[in-house]
C-alpha cells in the first residue's frame, strides 16, 4: 500500500478528482469508469458508465445521494466478462456490498479496479432534489461537507432543513476497506489537497503507468479523524439499537412497529444483498387454497389480509442478516417510513457476532451460511440427557 497527495487547485476538489479519473482513462489503467454524474435536471446524481473522458466534466465521485446501490450495478456489469477493466467509484457501503456479492458469485472483482471514497454520508434522494431546487443550495451542502471532513464533524446540517440519512448518521464504516484506490478526505482540507491511497493489487501498475508519484506514508491525521468519527457514530448507533431493542420486547411489539407495512417488497428490491433471481416471495410456494384463509379466519375470528408481513421480514432476516452491510437503502425505499434498516442492523449485529463475521471485510472470507466448523454450536446437537 502506498499513498500520495493530490493537490487541489482553485479550491475545487471535484476538478482535481475529475482530472485524476481522466488520467486513469487516458493511461488505459481502466477502459471505463462507473461514477455518479449530475443529472441533467440538477436534481441529483446517477451512476454512469463512462468511456469518453469529456463526459467526466460533471461527475461527482462523492455524490451526496445514493439512488441505487452500485453493488447491484456491478453484478450486471461483471458477472460475465465486460471485455474492459472497469474503474468503479464506490462509497464504503457499496464496496462492502460488492465484496459480499463476490462471495455469492454475483460480482467478479477481476474485472474491476475499485475506487473507494471516504464518505461524509448521503441525503435521501427526494430531500436533496428539494434542496437542490432552491438556487445554489446543493452547492452549499457540498461546501458544508468539504468543511466537515477536515474535522470529522459532518452531522450538524439538520438546521439547514436537511439531515443525512439515518443509516449514514449511525454508520461506523465511513472509510473504504481494501479498495484498490482510495480517495481520502478525512483529516484533510479538500479545498487544498486529497490523499490518494493505492492498494497492493494495482500499485505496481500504477507506478508503471506513472499515474501519480507515490511515495508518502498515509497521513496520521486522517487516521485520527477517522477513529474519532467512528467513535461518535458507534455511540449514535448504539443509542438507536438500544431504543429499538427496548421497544421490541416480543413479536407482537415488532408487528405493532411494522403494522403499516404495505408489503410492496421495495426493501427487498433495494437491498444489494438480496440477489436471488427467483425470490421465494415471488413464487407460488405459499399460495394457499382459498378455503385455507377461511379456516384461519374461522380459527382466530378474523385475520389480516394479505397474511405475509411477519414471515416476509423474518425470512429476509434469516436469509441475509449475516451479510447485511447497513447501507440503509431499505429505509429509503420504504413508502411507509418503517425502520427496516434499524431492524436489520440491530438483529444483524447479534447474528454476525455469533460467527465473528463482518460482511464486506475481506473477499477471501466465506459467509457464515456457506460454511461451518465441526466443533461449533455444540448446544444444538444431540438429544438432551
Partner 1 sequence: MSEFEPRIVAFLCHWCTYTGADLAGTTRQQYPPNIRIIHLMCSGAVDTIYVLKALIDGADGVLIGGCHPGDCHYQTGNYKARRRVAILKNILSQLGYDPERIWLRWISASEGKLFADTVTQMVEELKQKGPNPIKKMWAL
Residues 6+ apart with CB under 8 A from 186: 118, 149, 152, 174, 175, 222, 225, 226, 229
What CA–CA distance (Å, rounded) separates 242 from 147? 31
Q: How far apart are CA 256 and CA 261, in angstroms?
A: 10
Tell me if 333 sits within 8 A of 363, measured CB to CB.
Answer: no
Query: Minimal distance in Å, beta carbon 169 to partner 1?
Result: 22
Quick one: 137 or 369, whose CB is closer to partner 1?
369
Return the closest-CA partner of residue 213 out of 201, 199, 200, 196.
196
Q: Does 14 bind partner 1 (CB under 8 A)?
A: no
Using CB under 8 A as the binding rule, whether residue 277 contacts partner 1 is answered as no
Per the CB < 8 A criterion, the answer to whether 272 and 71 are in contact is: yes
Cross-strand pairs, 115:
89, 181
Q: How far apart are CA 182 and CA 90, in angstroms?
A: 9
CB of 244 to partner 1, least distance (A): 10
- We find the least distance from the C-beta atom of residue 363 to partner 1, in angstroms, to be 21
Residues 170-209 that bind partner 1 (CB under 8 A): none
Place of cell 474491476: 112
- Nearest distance, CB of residue 373 and partner 1, angstroms: 8
Which of 90, 64, 107 is CA-nearest to residue 177? 90
Give, as ranges, the residues between 238 and 257 that touch partner 1 (CB under 8 A): 245, 248-255
Q: Which is nearer to partner 1, 155 or 365 (CB)?
A: 365
Q: Which three cell numbers stand for residue 74?
A: 456491478
Comparison of 91 and 237: residue with beta carbon closer to partner 1: 237
Beta-strand ranges (E) seen in 39-77 are 45-50
Binding residues with partner 1: total (CB under 8 A): 49
CB 212 to partner 1: min, Å: 45
Pick the stretch among 119-127, 262-270, 334-342, 363-371 that binds partner 1 (CB under 8 A).
Answer: 363-371
Judged by CB under 8 A, does residue 280 bind partner 1?
A: yes
Site for partner 1 in 296-335 (CB under 8 A): 296, 299-304, 307-311, 314-315, 317-319, 321-322
| Residue at grid coordinates 429509503 | 332
Binding site for partner 1 (CB under 8 A): 245, 248-255, 259, 280, 285-286, 296, 299-304, 307-311, 314-315, 317-319, 321-322, 346-347, 350-351, 354, 368-369, 371-372, 374, 376-377, 380-384
Amino acid at each position: 500500500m502506498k499513498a500520495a497527495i493530490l493537490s487541489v487547485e482553485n479550491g475545487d476538489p471535484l476538478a482535481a478528482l475529475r482530472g485524476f479519473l481522466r488520467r486513469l482513462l487516458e493511461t488505459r489503467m481502466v477502459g471505463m469508469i462507473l461514477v455518479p454524474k449530475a443529472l441533467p435536471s440538477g436534481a441529483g446524481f446517477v451512476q454512469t458508465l463512462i468511456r469518453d473522458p469529456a463526459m467526466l466534466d460533471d461527475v461527482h465521485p462523492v455524490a451526496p445521494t445514493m439512488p441505487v446501490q452500485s453493488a447491484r450495478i456491478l453484478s450486471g456489469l461483471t458477472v460475465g466478462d465486460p471485455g474492459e477493466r472497469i474503474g468503479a467509484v464506490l462509497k464504503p457501503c457499496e464496496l462492502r456490498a460488492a465484496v459480499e456479492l463476490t462471495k455469492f458469485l454475483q460480482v467478479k472483482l477481476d474485472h474491476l479496479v475499485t475506487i473507494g471514497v471516504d464518505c461524509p454520508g448521503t441525503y435521501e434522494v427526494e430531500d436533496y432534489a428539494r434542496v437542490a431546487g432552491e438556487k445554489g443550495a446543493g452547492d452549499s451542502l457540498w461546501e458544508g461537507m468539504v468543511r466537515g471532513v477536515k474535522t470529522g464533524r459532518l452531522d450538524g446540517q439538520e438546521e439547514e432543513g436537511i439531515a443525512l440519512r439515518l443509516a449514514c448518521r449511525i454508520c461506523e464504516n465511513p472509510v473504504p476497506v481494501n479498495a484498490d484506490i482510495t480517495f481520502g478526505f478525512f483529516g484533510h482540507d479538500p479545498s487544498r489537497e486529497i490523499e490518494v491511497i493505492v492498494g497492493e493489487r494495482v500499485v505496481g501498475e500504477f507506478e508503471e503507468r506513472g499515474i501519480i508519484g507515490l511515495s508518502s506514508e498515509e497521513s496520521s491525521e486522517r487516521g485520527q479523524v477517522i477513529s474519532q468519527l467512528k467513535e461518535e457514530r458507534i455511540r449514535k448507533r448504539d443509542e438507536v439499537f438500544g431504543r429499538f431493542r427496548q421497544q421490541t420486547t416480543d413479536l407482537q411489539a415488532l408487528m405493532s412497529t411494522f403494522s403499516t407495512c404495505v408489503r410492496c417488497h421495495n426493501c427487498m428490491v433495494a437491498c444489494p444483498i438480496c440477489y436471488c433471481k427467483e425470490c421465494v416471495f415471488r413464487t407460488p410456494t405459499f399460495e394457499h387454497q382459498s378455503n385455507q384463509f377461511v379456516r384461519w379466519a374461522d380459527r382466530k375470528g378474523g385475520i389480516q389480509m394479505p397474511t405475509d408481513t411477519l414471515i416476509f421480514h423474518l425470512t429476509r432476516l434469516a436469509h441475509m442478516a449475516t451479510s447485511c452491510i447497513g447501507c440503509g437503502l431499505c429505509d429509503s425505499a420504504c413508502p411507509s417510513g418503517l425502520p427496516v434498516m434499524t431492524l436489520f442492523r440491530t438483529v444483524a449485529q447479534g447474528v454476525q457476532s455469533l460467527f465473528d463475521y463482518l460482511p464486506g471485510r475481506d473477499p477471501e472470507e466465506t459467509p457464515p451460511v456457506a460454511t461451518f466448523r465441526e466443533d461449533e454450536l455444540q448446544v444444538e446437537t444431540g438429544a438432551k440427557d
